[in-house]
Structure formats: structure tokens, C-alpha cells
Structure 1
Amino acid sequence: MWGTSETVLLIGLMVAGYLISGRLARRRVAAAGRAEVPAPAAESSMVQS
């Protein structure tokens, strides 16, 4: 009986970790979208003609 309970508990922990990981990833993406990133200097010098 303990083996079955342990398996169910571990699967529950894995699912919880998956959900928390997804939530954190969405927060990181949203925060990165709000941050203003300047264009690298190398790209702007290549564009000059």
C-alpha cells in the first residue's frame, strides 16, 4: 500500500512543480517584455551606408 501512496504523492509533487515552473516562466517573460532593451551598438554601425 505504501508504494502506491508514495507514487501518487510523487506524481502530485511533480504536477505541482510543473505548474509553479510555468507560472514563474510567464512572470519572467512578462517582466522581460516590460523592460526596455536598447539596440546593440554593433547593429547600428552595420546599418550605416
Structure 2
Amino acid sequence: MGQFTINGHEVVDGDVKATGNGAHVYVPKRWRGADVKIVRISDPTDE
């Protein structure tokens, strides 16, 4: 696993949810229009 340093304002710890042919990560509505970065920290599991 790599190590990354990211400067930012807030962190949300959540799960990726299946949607259609892809997946979503939900963040607070107040983040709308902000630039974000998503970092995967575990291997995906087939459910």
C-alpha cells in the first residue's frame, strides 16, 4: 500500500455504495462544488 500526504479541510470515513453500473461515495451536501480526492484504503470485496 502506498502512503500519501494530502492537505485538506475535512475527512469523511465511509463506504462505497453500488449504483447502477458504478458506485458512489456520499459526502455532506455542504461539500457540493468543492474539489475532493478519494483514496481507496482496502481491497474491494465481492458481495
Same topology, TM > 0.5: no
**As a proportion of its length, which structure holds more strand?**
2
Provide TM-score, normalisation by structure 1.
0.16
Relative contact order, higher structure (CA 8 A, sep 6+): 2
When Rg is computed on C-alpha atoms for both structures, the one with the higher figure is 1
**As a proportion of its length, which structure holds more helix?**
1
